[in-house]
Structure 1
């Protein structure tokens, strides 16, 4: 994989720490999406909360849990902006992108999403730590690579900025559509309508994938290419499971509405 990506990415540094995280991301790719398809869901979704037995586990309010998921990663991004004030354009753009990504998530949890479920406390801690490590290791991987190697021969930073902004805007818009789906006091689920929901049931995941691809293009490290592939696998599996869930709940679910990619999947 490394030899194929080298024109597009920094060579992998001789770092046991970074190599281990990259290898873990690569190894997880075939499994993380399949776990969602098979019904093994992260313990903060409507799928997990549908299981009454698991609800007996120690939980926290969903909104609190979601803030805790993203806040450490956001603080890691903010800290990197303070710690490395003058380190080149690509490094600045990456740190801004990572910080903006998690700031958007925190703000959406606080002011946009309607969260009625609870979250398992142990899952909250694990996922929060995972997001924090992704954010900080992403920044570290570029910092280390820039100190050791010249820039990749094919510069993807500016296409990456464009993809990142498209992903952020598209993801926010479809989250806004979802937030307006139910009026105050309503708890029952509805088939989403508006935006790209007429084509796929998870356009917010589609744009999140575009967001991650944008960050991968900005960063151009093999580590974050592995993270992006891992994210694509997970969101593809989650989209498939979401479509299956909607079909089981609504007899009138449109057959033409795909899971993630219009007309294809």
Structure 2
């Protein structure tokens, strides 16, 4: 506990933030466990799983679905910069800016980088969008409630900026490599190659976790760490399911390529 008190702001006197810290961690982590068990959030290669044959479902083009998923969180983070008073509070400004950059990058990738192979199920798009919007808004709110509290004795802001930039750059680069796998109108899947794809099948998830770690270091609130830990467990489950999918679809898939962490997992 003494180590945590050196690294984190004390929890604010807010039942809402305390409750959301628990719900966010448990909910997102449980999503990772569901991925391992084969119950997937249905987008990308998992779009046709977990669906009874006689069930009518509303589908969106993948590009539209991803925009719906990310845009509300981008709007929330942009609004926080224009509405909330960040003067004299560099940590709040840094957190809000990092969230803006994170979701702006995602929207730009949706529009100009990603190559799509199908559709997204509306009932998957809605919870993803709500999750990002609520988590972003709650993280910003928790940070503002920390204003006036004693700063943690270990200041992680600078480390957080560096870690965040490493994460967002690595994630963008590996998304770029994925986009180069398909030519125009090519909807098939191939085994990714190049950079960390030679060691893990989901390096983009690895760098996404690193980016979230950077955001948590910048924030140093309990909620930001709850969100980051939950996201890490979810992406571990998603990467495990992704590797399992590739092994089932490609007989020549290199078994030495791990799911998320080189040589380990």
TM-score (norm 1): 0.95
Relative distance call for 1:28 and 1:51 in structure 2 (3 A) is: closer
Contact kept in structure 1, 2:117 and 2:186, CA below 8 Å: no
Q: Counterpart in 2 of 1:41?
A: 40
Trace 1:16-165 onto structure 2 (pairs within 5 A).
Answer: 16-28=15-27, 30-50=29-49, 53=52, 56-83=56-83, 84-147=85-148, 149-165=149-165
Trace 1:182-221 onto structure 2 (pairs within 5 A).
Answer: 182-221=182-221
1:38-83, Cα deviation, whole Å (9 max, x unpaired)? 1111122311325664783112211111001110100111111111
Contact kept in structure 2, 1:10 and 1:151, CA below 8 Å: yes
Counterpart-to-counterpart distance in 2, 1:158 and 1:241: 34
Contact kept in structure 2, 1:49 and 1:118, CA below 8 Å: no
Counterpart-to-counterpart distance in 2, 1:260 and 1:78: 31
Structure 2 unaligned spans of 5+: none
Counterpart-to-counterpart distance in 2, 1:114 and 1:49: 18
Deviates more, 1:78-87 or 1:159-168: 78-87
Counterpart-to-counterpart distance in 2, 1:9 and 1:155: 9
1:153-184, Cα deviation, whole Å (9 max, x unpaired)? 10011111000000000000000000001111
Q: Compute the displacement of 1:30 (Å).
A: 4.9
1:100-128, Cα deviation, whole Å (9 max, x unpaired)? 00000001001111123212223322221
> Aligned residue pairs: how many?
263
Q: Compute the displacement of 1:96 (Å).
A: 0.5
Contact kept in structure 1, 2:39 and 2:50, CA below 8 Å: no
Counterpart-to-counterpart distance in 2, 1:30 and 1:130: 13
Contact kept in structure 1, 2:44 and 2:117, CA below 8 Å: no
Deviates more, 1:6-15 or 1:25-34: 25-34
Q: Compute the displacement of 1:195 (Å).
A: 1.0
Are 1:15 and 2:14 matched, yes or no?
yes
Counterpart-to-counterpart distance in 1, 2:130 and 2:244: 30
Structure 1 unaligned spans of 5+: none
1:210-249, Cα deviation, whole Å (9 max, x unpaired)? 0000000000001110100000000001111100100001
Counterpart-to-counterpart distance in 2, 1:14 and 1:117: 46
3-state secondary structure, aligned to 1:119: strand
Counterpart-to-counterpart distance in 2, 1:170 and 1:64: 24
Q: Compute the displacement of 1:185 (Å).
A: 2.0
Q: Counterpart in 2 of 1:255?
A: 255
Q: Counterpart in 2 of 1:174?
A: 174
Q: Counterpart in 2 of 1:246?
A: 246
**Which 4+ stretches in 1 moved above 4 angstroms?**
none
Contact kept in structure 1, 2:91 and 2:157, CA below 8 Å: yes
3-state secondary structure, aligned to 1:172: helix
